[in-house]
Structure 1
Amino acid sequence: MQTNPEKDTDLRLKVNSETARLPWRELEKHFAQGNVVWIANELDLVEVAVRISHDDKSTITQWMANGQLAKVSDQQALDWQAADASLWAVVVSPFILVQQDKPTKH
């Protein structure tokens, strides 16, 4: 699938501007509907959102096979609730993509 690089840049800027930190408690109702997707820290949240919006099935399938992209598990939800966690989030309808803070390097 060919994408227009200029349009892709615009989409990246739009997605980046819509990315925000949200408390898990505000995402729980979406989790209950099965619409919250976890993204591994080694992936870029904006890049994943762009790939999903382009319906890039091969890349998405690869990430899922590598355990880098998955629906949020019940255990993750319980852990985030107990920790009163805040997550980076962006909406790619109908999904909300979430990512924990990346560990800082000392």
Structure 2
Amino acid sequence: MTSPERSAADATDSTHSPLYLKLLAETAKIGWSELERFFARGVLLRVARDLDLVTVAAAIAEDDKAQVAQWLSSGLVERMQSETAADFAARDPELWAVVVSPWVCVQERG
């Protein structure tokens, strides 16, 4: 699994697409307080730790309906739930996010 901590330059030796590398470069650590407004707008997607955040963002950007539907149906990707938002607000965990307009994909790390 590729970690967002890796820079795009570190990933160029692999077989990742230009889109993947672009999204990887745009992925950043972020605090919950900066994400709350996206949650309020209903555009925040939680990505399970089992998945590569950038791979999910790339599938959304490429409109890979089959793959995204599979993740949604299995609960590996979901619109941020109120309970999860409250938990994140209380704990302020390490979060990484990437924007794939109109969505913001977020994943808890650590």
Fold match (TM-score > 0.5) = yes
- Structure 1 residue 17 corresponds to structure 2 residue 20: no
Deviations 1:36-75 (A, max 9, x none): 0000111101100110001011111111111101000000
* CA distance, structure 1, for counterparts of residue 86 and residue 106 of structure 2: 15
Greater Cα offset, 77-86 or 33-42: 77-86
Matches within 5 A, 1:1-106: 9-102=17-110
* CA distance, structure 1, for counterparts of residue 55 and residue 101 of structure 2: 15
User: AA paired with 1:15?
Assistant: L
Give the root-mean-square deviation of aligned CA atoms.
Answer: 1.1
Structure 1: gaps spanning 5 or more residues:
1-7
Per the TM alignment, residue 9 of structure 1 is displaced from its structure 2 partner at its CA by 1.4
User: AA paired with 2:90?
Assistant: A
User: AA paired with 2:69?
Assistant: T
* CA distance, structure 2, for counterparts of residue 27 and residue 16 of structure 1: 19
- The percent identity for this pair of structures is 43
Which residue number corresponds to residue 3 of structure 1? Answer: none
- C-alpha contact (below 8 Å) 2:93/2:109 kept by paired residues: no
Q: Secondary structure at the match of 2:99?
A: strand
**Paired residue total:** 95
TM-score, structure 2 as length reference: 0.83
Structure 2: gaps spanning 5 or more residues:
1-15
Larger C-alpha radius of gyration, 1 or 2?
1
Deviations 1:11-44 (A, max 9, x none): 1111000000100010001100001000011110
